[in-house]
Amino acid sequence: MALALRCPAAASWQARRSRCPLCTATPTGGVSLMVAASGQGEAADLYMCSYLACPPYVRDKREAGVGARLHESLTLEEKIQRTVADLAAFITEVTA
């Protein structure tokens, strides 16, 4: 099953200072609307960090923005698992 992640037309590349639902950071590069399409042409979209930049935010390897982070009581491992689960759910939605 091939899955293509792409960004819509350049005009839709809005570098918005929004919170990424995957890693809860408010990245300086903004979040972008990613569109995933499987071979059947089914598509789903998801806002996430531009350039798929989530991992270093989840792992606190990169500054998440001033006051950007939600205060969470989750451990690092739990945050990573949640991010992976959210992404997996998104992919499942496309490829189901």
- The four Cα atoms 74, 80, 84, 86 give a dihedral, to 10 degrees, of 30
Per rule CB under 5 A, is residue 22 in the interface with Zn ion?
Answer: yes
Round to whole Å and give the CA distance between 23 and 69: 9
H helix runs in 1-96, sequence order: 54-58, 76-95
Does the footprint of Zn ion cover residue 23 (CB under 5 A)? Answer: yes
49, 79, 90, 94: which one binds Zn ion (CB under 5 A): 49
Beta carbon nearer to Zn ion, 20 or 46 = 20
**Using the rule CB under 5 A, is 64 a contact of Zn ion?**
no
Residues that bind Zn ion (CB under 5 A): 20, 22-23, 49, 54
